[in-house]
Amino acid sequence: MTAQPLYRSMVADGDDPDAPQRVRVDHRGDRAIVTLDESDRLNVLSAPLVRQLRRALQDLDADADVRSVIVTGADPGFSAGGDLVMMQAAVDQRDAPEGVADVWRWIRREFGGIARLIAGSDTIFIAALNGAAAGVGLAWALTCDLVIASERAVIVPAFGRLGLIPEVGTSWALTRHLGYQGALAYYLRGEHIDAQAALRLGLVQEVVDHERLLAAADTWCERIAALPPHAAAMTKPLLRAAADADWNSALTLEEFAEPTCFTTAAFADNVRSMLK
């Protein structure tokens, strides 16, 4: 048996030029809307959807004119998470020469690759939860810089029922929002969390009427666009680093970053206007 048979076959399936388009990208000036689009399967994370999403986000990340990206799903759901067909293939891989190491490649390079791209980009990513969000789809949403929810949104903790652990950064996100005990209780209960409960828990920043979801997300894009181009781009990595730093380290990060802002035309113009 050749090396990496499962990973290579999934990549080949995902990159099949005849595969249906599972991701739509709508460019709108300094922002873009990325829609997971396999609604008949609740936007399950099939190989074509995952590979198409990764390429779309890489292109947007590389576009200096795009300052914010909204990630949402085609109704009625955001994402049902992993594809059970692919999971079965992973189970069947246990007796292969590399065993689960081959599955690890997909989890790290594809699922984790998208999460790392979102977190590491200077672009602001906004998850717009239009319905149920589970598994890796939920992990990607929680990795985004902001999460807003439709009144129909539901957070689905399906890990435990499948015999899985929180994945692709979910353990990090949950413990920071809920604390250790809250995160463990969330995992053990396995209960769906509706949009208002998610707002109270701090898992989302805003809940709006379903029909207003994309408009509400666009309002956040407007706030980003109103700032000088460097401001949000520099603040994102600063705050992400500060979230895991002690007070002195966070202060030092700020002290090194702030002088750069003094050299920008936007700052100079704002100071002059305030002194008039």
Q: Which domains, from first to last, does the chain contain?
A: 5-226 (3.90.226.10), 229-275 (no CATH)
Report the pLDDT value the prediction gives residue 89, as an integer from 0 to 100.
61
Distance of alpha carbon 28 from alpha carbon 33, whole angstroms: 8
pLDDT digits (tens, 9 = 90+) for 56-108: 999 999 999 999 999 999 999 999 987 666 666 656 566 666 666 777 788 88
Residues in a beta bridge with 72: 35, 128
Does residue 34 contact residue 70 with C-beta atoms inside 8 Å?
yes
The overall longest dimension of the chain from CA atoms, in Å, is 75
Q: What is the mean pLDDT of the chain?
A: 88
Does residue 80 contact residue 41 with C-beta atoms inside 8 Å?
yes
Whether the ω angle into residue 76 lies within 30 degrees of 0, i.e. cis, is yes
Report the pLDDT value the prediction gives residue 247, as an integer from 0 to 100.
82
Phi, psi of 96 (to 5 degrees): -75, 160
In order of 20, 73, 107, the CA distances from 76 in angstroms are 19, 8, 26
Distance of alpha carbon 214 from alpha carbon 220, whole angstroms: 10
pLDDT digits (tens, 9 = 90+) for 144-195: 999 999 999 999 987 777 777 788 889 999 999 999 999 999 989 888 999 9
Report the pLDDT value the prediction gives residue 2, as an integer from 0 to 100.
43
Distance of alpha carbon 209 from alpha carbon 230, whole angstroms: 32
Does residue 147 contact residue 127 with C-beta atoms inside 8 Å?
yes
Q: How many CB atoms lie within 10 A of CB 42?
A: 21
3-class state of residue 276 by DSSP: coil
Distance of alpha carbon 113 from alpha carbon 121, whole angstroms: 12
Rg (CA), the chain: 20
Does residue 45 contact residue 79 with C-beta atoms inside 8 Å?
yes
Phi, psi of 38 (to 5 degrees): -140, 60
The predicted model gives 241-267 an average pLDDT of 81
Distance of alpha carbon 272 from alpha carbon 254, whole angstroms: 23
Report the pLDDT value the prediction gives residue 165, as an integer from 0 to 100.
79
In order of 140, 267, 270, the CA distances from 243 in angstroms are 18, 26, 29
pLDDT digits (tens, 9 = 90+) for 13-29: 778 888 889 999 999 99
Does residue 171 contact residue 183 with C-beta atoms inside 8 Å?
yes
Residue 253's pLDDT band, with cuts at 50, 70 and 90, is confident
Q: Is the pLDDT of residue 1 over 60?
A: no
Which residue type is seen at 231?
A
The predicted model gives 110-116 an average pLDDT of 93
DSSP conformation letters of 26-48 = EEETTEEEEEE--GGGTT-B-HH
The predicted model gives 259-263 an average pLDDT of 78
3-class state of residue 88 by DSSP: helix
DSSP conformation letters of 122-188 = SSEEEEEE-SEEEHHHHHHHHHSSEEEEETT-EEE--TGGGT----TTHHHHHHHHHHHHHHHHHHH
Q: Is the pLDDT of residue 128 over 60?
A: yes
Distance of alpha carbon 198 from alpha carbon 107, whole angstroms: 26
